[in-house]
A and B are shown apart, each in its own frame.
Chain A
Amino acid sequence: MSEEIRADVLVLGGGPGGYVAAIRAGQLGLDTILVEADRPGGTCLLRGCIPSKALIHVAAKFAGMEHAAREPALGIGLSGPPTIDLAATMLWKDGIVDRLSGGVTALLKRAKVRVIRGWGTMRDGKTCEVAEADGSTTTVRAGSVVLATGSEPAALPSLPFGPKILSSTEILSLRERPRRLAVVGAGYIGLELGTVFARLGTQVTVIEAADTILPGFDAELAAPVARWLEAAGVTLHLGTKASGFRETEEGVTLALARGDGSVEELTADLVLVAAGRRPRIGGWGLDGLPIDRDGPFVRVDETCRTSMTGVYAIGDLVGEPLLAHKASAQGEMVAEVIAGRRRRFAPAAIPAICFTEPEIVSVGLSPAEAAARGLKTKVGRFPFAANGRALTLEGGRDGGFVRILANAADHRVIGVQAVGTHISELSAAFVTAIEMGAVLDDVAATIQAHPTLGEAFHEAALAALGHAIHA
């Protein structure tokens, strides 16, 4: 059975880019259809940010209890070490994902967006054929199309995904804690999930081809995380490739090839391959459309227009950074562009957070990036060890700090980074300052409440000006 329906806007993909675009289009009175094969929410909500943060939360609480049981410095006494029932944890996590996905469904409904659940294939720049689960096909024709198909975990040729070689998707649903876990890739996904299992008592080994962890963040920011991993008993093999594997009774044995040509074996119960993500460009008809590419990505202009009239693309599909909030911001904007508003995607800064222990936040330029652009800068740093709030939260001993970077000539703030326990929520203050065009003196003159972690931001600006108070 086949049916043909029409709409003003068709959004292909129901992740944080697509569903936000659809809701905003609906709010603006556009007749909108969202095509999605799964429940709405995309990678982020169903098998990415949200489930990982739920597990990170549980693992942090668990670690806090282990600490309390071992060394009851806070006065909390336990009769024995805590234990984890991972199946129960996963049920809790699944409940959160269910509620959030259900929430998105309700939001789409309220915005009068029609959702068609099925696999969409673009036939031309205005037509999408949707194969639904019951075998029926719906053809959607729309005046404007928003491509929001997202990304998928990149597989390594040497380590094809299988029952014991997992991507982030599968590891977020493990029912039992592995005794030994090998993580291939020391980017933020590998380290966030590696940290979860290390905290739950798994013996974790991280293998990374590059010579540093967290290639997206500079060495100064990554150093406290590396120190934490070492203290937590995580083994790091840097400059090392997982060149092959064989499954054994015990699990999986990886061949680790070092830069110097030596090879060593490592056996683990499970392997997590977290070697990055790549845009999802196959399987939905992109190849049949005359749309320009930009490397593996779809090329778009600053209003997210592709080279094909009436076809827009957003999110992970159109390039770095592959972050949900960038996709949402583009989705919101593209809906407004389609509705005839004058908008462009030109944020002064897009924050990035790594939810490791300690957490890392980066907004704007790092010192190295500024140097590469030939900018003369002033840098101010302030350690959380000198921040009262950090000490009361048992932070401050992890080598964390806030770093602010400004143009030397006019003091305009061009970058703010921080690493430390519980600091992810400071990202909004950093990005707001940059969006407002703050100079160092502005940040220095803004009163931060005491005692808060945000005081370190204030002090870092003072430090850049040469007169921190608490350092």
Chain B
Amino acid sequence: MSAYDLVVIGTGPGGYVCAIRAAQLGLKTAVIEKRATHGGTCLNVGCIPSKALLHASELFADARDHFGHLGIEVGTPKIDVAKMMAFKDEGVSGNTKGVEFLLKKNKIDAIHGTARIAAPGQIEVKSEDGSNQVIEAKAIVIATGSVVAPLRGVETDGKVVVTSDEAIALPAVPKKLVVVGAGVIGLELGSVWRRLGAEVTVVEFLDRILPGMDAEVAKQFQRILGKQGFAFKLGTKVTKVETEGGAAKVTIEPAQGEGEAQILEADTVLVATGRIPYTEGLGLDRIGVKLDERGRIETDAHFATNVTGIYAIGDVIAGPMLAHKAEDEGVAVAEMLAGKAGHVNYDVIPSIVYTNPEVAAVGKTEEELKAAGTAYAIGKFPFTANGRAKANGTTDGFVKVLADAATDRVLGVHIVGPHAGDLIAEAAIAMEFGASSEDIARTCHAHPTLAEAVKEAALAVDKRAIHM
């Protein structure tokens, strides 16, 4: 039994990237994964499969709703859910096999089984066949990610009342879908089934959708989703879900104050009220690794837990539950363990909602700036005034640039609109450089691109947009 320099528990985007970076830097590295395939939530049941379904369902909705006026005749398209799922599965397997290949290429030992940290430097792995082995490591990185948060009083059964894990694999289009939670996951998966013909009602406890994102963007986005046929019950809580004969009755009440209960009927109920860190079975309490009040592993600025030699990254620690945040932390902790200076800039982590149109953001929202008492200037530009958006027939939404009122430094960029997820890359790069809105405004943007709207929003900060 040889000791490893590093053992990473979990091969989601945080874990496998951490292992690869460590191996690149010469550390003898192993990973432990409970699932049969690598890639974690993101590749297996999260980002990648949902994006594949979003892509396919968007094409279908396009064909059904938007082709006539373009001069394209397609008759009435039909959806074959099984085939769409096969396309998704192909994308997932391509990605997870890719990770397997990368681990091999970097000479990382991949061990399949469930890990329990017996002591600092010692991990017990229980394989599916019941065999046990003990692995020794100078450093352990916990990258076990997160799982779907349960909703109090609501039991999921994986068939009628489901989580995102099953909502990416429904066997047929539900006639009526109730989504509990108007966050990223609920709205993305709600979009998939809405486009395929489901009646979708989204129930949200707060009085707004996309909590945490810029309120103005969320408001506009809600309007757009409304036009697509989404129904919203905001400021509403689910008190009970009863299932009978393959259907559900969802009881809802006003979140605050008195009000009458109402019953929503559904074929499928998607519980998407968030995710919680996953540390079950790791044995953390036994070895004394401290968790915070929300069950997240406490770490210092170097991702070290309070127990020497044990580190943690990704969804299992504080911060946004985003694959790219986990990856960056994985790289940083690997570099630190190899004696280099790793660093994560938490002020510039972009986030994206892959609906149609997309929503993307980086930096501070208006609400955050107000709360912090920062004086700021706003520049906004609508996609209705952008040539490429017009040529593509996708003019819903706008770009909003928030800049420091005194220094003009860009503090946040918020986009609801076509390809917002691609456009946010420019904003993130500019913000990494501490760019001013004038820097973005003076950068030559190609014509005709949607990115010109980012430039115009930057110009609008100084009240001198050209095309508005």
Contact = CB atoms under 8 A, between A and B. Distances in A.
User: When A and B form their complex, which 4 residue pairs have the shortest distance between CB atoms, in order from nearest?
Assistant: A75-B84, A89-B71, A88-B71, A428-B451
Contacts of B21: 467, 469
A196 to B, nearest CB: 12
B429 interface: yes
B444 A457 contact: no
Interface stretch (A117-125, A151-159, A319-327): A319-327
B218 interface: no
A24 interface: yes
B52 A392 contact: yes
Contacts, number: 289
Contact of A431 (B43, B327, B444): B444
Contact of B422 (A45, A436, A447, A454): A454
B444 A100 contact: no
A353 B449 contact: yes
Given A75-B82, A103-B385, A392-B55, A83 B73 contact: yes
Nearest to A86: B71
B145 interface: no
Contact of A469 (B83, B331, B435): B331
A451 B323 contact: yes
A432 B79 contact: no
Contacts of A86: 71
Interface residues of A, number: 97
B334 to A, nearest CB: 10
A431 B445 contact: yes
Interface residues of B, number: 98
A162 B362 CA distance: 53
A350 B79 contact: no
B17 interface: yes
Interface in A419-445: 422, 424-429, 431-433, 435-436, 438, 442-443, 445
14 contacts: A50-B391, A57-B391, A65-B74, A76-B60, A85-B73, A92-B393, A323-B447, A325-B452, A424-B449, A428-B423, A428-B445, A435-B439, A436-B430, A450-B327
By DSSP majority rule, is chain B's interface helix, strand, loop, or mixed? helix
Contacts of A353: 446, 449
Nearest to A448: B425
Interface in B31-56: 42-43, 47-48, 51-52, 54-56
Nearest to B18: A469
A332 B73 CA distance: 43
A447 B98 CA distance: 21
B449 A428 contact: yes
Given A83-B73, A425-B450, A449-B324, A470 B98 contact: yes
Contact of B444 (A75, A325, A425, A442): A325
Interface of A: 16, 20, 23-24, 27, 44-45, 49-51, 53-54, 56-58, 61-62, 64-65, 68-69, 72-80, 82-92, 96, 99-100, 103, 107, 323-326, 328-329, 332, 347, 349-353, 361, 386, 388-389, 391-394, 422, 424-429, 431-433, 435-436, 438, 442-443, 445-455, 457, 467, 469-470
A20 B85 CA distance: 48
B432 A446 contact: yes
Contact of B48 (A87, A388, A436, A452): A388
Interface in B424-468: 424-426, 428-430, 432-433, 435, 439-440, 442-452, 454-455, 464, 466-468
B69 interface: yes
Nearest to A345: B444
Interface stretch (B152-160, B253-261, B346-354): B346-354
B59 interface: yes
A353 B447 CA distance: 8
A391 B87 CA distance: 10
Given A88-B71, A449-B324, A99 B445 contact: no
B322 interface: yes
B75 A80 contact: yes
Contacts of B331: 469
